[in-house]
């Protein structure tokens, strides 16, 4: 392997990379997936009631509402802004506090309190917000609530659905950047015939594979880190987290090199990826449903870099708690070097056969050289 040749090939791929739809897709994928998860799943599975308040008269009810536990309170500048938030389902319900509301309540009057409800809000959230609002009004009137509610949490607090989606976001970003960038680059070289032209020069097959693999590692690491940054998941061990992403990027790039060396064209590549990706991606389902047997994801090699990322980024773990899984992931990357080397020899043989006249290839098929 020649470092100079590898560097030249890598610079060429990096220069032409922005023109490739696949590279652009891998770069924007973290943003697209994060927006989908935060915007769709985050609001869909958010069970904390959301109350919007348009306070037109500096009511003490607003300050008391913000002190309540288990209620997400947002303030809106006027009635129009609150109605827009309720209509967009940004809050479950909203109340409009007119000027002089507190004085009217304390004097025994019955002022109108407009209670707006979002059409897509959960019925349970509507009830909780309504009850909390009534208790707040009683507080303004100086009345004691009819009962004191004490919230007792039993068992360990679970993670939110968007937090459990982080491994899915990371592996999608890393696999697209690592597997597909390396594999698609190789297949494109074979389809255009440029790899055969390269291998008749001092460039070796291992030089080509290393350059494509480095491109995949760079893209996968970049997209993986961007995904974690968008999801606020660097935790207290950022160095170890970056190492885990880098190891995952290397593993996916090696898989991409093997896949790209084997596939003859783009259709074969994407068919193989769609059929075999489940083996690499299935561990994410065990983060979404933690009640499933947790020994099963250990059957996939991707588990050994996903688990450290999950513990460090989501659960707030430390480097001491993830070193074993990370060591296994590094060992898997080392074990994949031999198949990658064999893939380089396979590419050289294919190129050699492509350079020979058809009659010579047919003659070799009829009269193979004795071993």
**What pLDDT, on a 0 to 100 scale, did the predictor assign at position 23?**
64
Tokens 């380089």 appear where?
344
Q: Which pairs with CB-CB distance under 8 Å and at least 24 residues apart come from 329-335?
A: 329/244, 329/247, 329/248, 329/251, 329/301, 329/304, 329/305, 330/247, 332/251, 332/301, 332/304, 333/247, 333/250, 333/251, 333/254
The model's pLDDT over 57-74, given as tens digits with 9 standing for 90+, comes to: 888 888 888 888 778 889
Q: Residue 371: which pLDDT band, with cuts at 50, 70 and 90?
A: very low
* 1 SS3 class: coil
Q: Is the pLDDT of residue 32 over 80?
A: no
Greatest Cα-to-Cα distance within the chain, rounded to the nearest angstrom: 108
**What pLDDT, on a 0 to 100 scale, did the predictor assign at position 329?**
93
Give the integer Cα–Cα distance in Å for 309 and 186: 29
Where do the DSSP E strands lie in the chain? 50-55, 72-75, 93-97, 114-117
| Cβ contact 51:136 at 8 Å | no
Q: Where are the domains of the chain?
A: 3-39+160-356, 48-140
Per the model's pLDDT, the better-predicted residue between 289 and 116 turns out to be 116
Q: Is the pLDDT of residue 163 over 80?
A: no
Report the DSSP beta bridge partners of residue 53: 75, 95
Q: H or E stretch including 20?
A: none
Q: Is the pLDDT of residue 366 over 70?
A: no
CATH classification number, 48-140, choose in 3.40.50.620, 3.40.1710.10, 2.40.50.100, 3.40.1410.10: 3.40.1710.10
Q: Residue 232: which pLDDT band, with cuts at 50, 70 and 90?
A: low
For the chain, what is the mean pLDDT? Answer: 79
Give the integer Cα–Cα distance in Å for 179 and 336: 14
**What pLDDT, on a 0 to 100 scale, did the predictor assign at position 66?**
87
The most confident of 47-51, 73-77, 238-242, 289-293, by mean pLDDT: 73-77
**Residue 150 vs residues 14, 17, 153, 154: alpha-carbon distances, Å:** 59, 58, 10, 13
Give the integer Cα–Cα distance in Å for 253 and 216: 5
Q: In the predicted model, what is the mean pLDDT of residues 286-308? A: 85
């Amino acid at each position: 392997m020649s470092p100079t040749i590898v560097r030249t090939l890598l610079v060429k791929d990096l220069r032409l990379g922005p023109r490739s739809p696949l590279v652009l897709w891998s770069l924007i994928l973290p943003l697209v997936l994060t927006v989908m998860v935060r915007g769709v799943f985050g609001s869909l599975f958010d069970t904390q009631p959301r109350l919007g308040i348009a306070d037109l008269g500096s009511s003490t009810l607003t300050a008391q509402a913000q002190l309540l536990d288990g209620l997400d309170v947002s303030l809106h500048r006027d009635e129009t802004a609150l109605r827009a938030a309720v209509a967009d389902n940004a809050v479950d319900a909203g109340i409009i506090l007119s000027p002089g509301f507190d004085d009217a309540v304390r004097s025994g009057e019955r002022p109108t309190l407009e209670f707006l409800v979002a059409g897509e809000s959960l019925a349970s959230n509507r009830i909780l917000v309504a009850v909390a609002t009534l208790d707040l009004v009683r507080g303004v009137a100086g009345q004691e609530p009819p009962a004191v509610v004490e919230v007792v949490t039993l068992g360990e607090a679970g993670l939110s659905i968007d937090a459990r989606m982080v491994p899915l976001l990371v592996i999608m970003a890393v696999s697209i950047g690592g597997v597909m960038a390396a594999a698609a680059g190789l297949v494109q070289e074979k389809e255009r015939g440029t790899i055969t032209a390269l291998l008749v020069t001092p460039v070796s097959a291992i030089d080509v594979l290393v350059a494509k693999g480095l491109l995949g590692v760079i893209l996968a690491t970049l997209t993986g880190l961007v995904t974690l940054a968008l999801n606020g998941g660097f935790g207290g061990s950022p160095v170890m987290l970056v190492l885990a992403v880098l190891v995952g990027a290397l593993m996916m790039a090696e898989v991409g090199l093997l896949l790209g060396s084997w596939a003859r064209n783009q259709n074969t590549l994407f068919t193989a990826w769609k059929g075999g990706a489940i083996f690499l991606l299935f561990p994410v389902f065990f983060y979404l449903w933690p009640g499933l047997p947790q020994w099963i994801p250990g059957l996939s090699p991707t588990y050994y870099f996903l688990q450290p990322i999950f513990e460090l980024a989501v659960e707030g773990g430390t480097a001491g708690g993830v070193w074993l899984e990370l060591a296994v992931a590094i060992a898997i990357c080392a074990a994949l070097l031999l198949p990658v080397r064999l893939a380089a020899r396979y590419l050289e043989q294919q190129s050699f056969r492509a350079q020979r006249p058809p009659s010579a290839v047919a003659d070799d098929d009829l009269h193979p050289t004795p071993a």
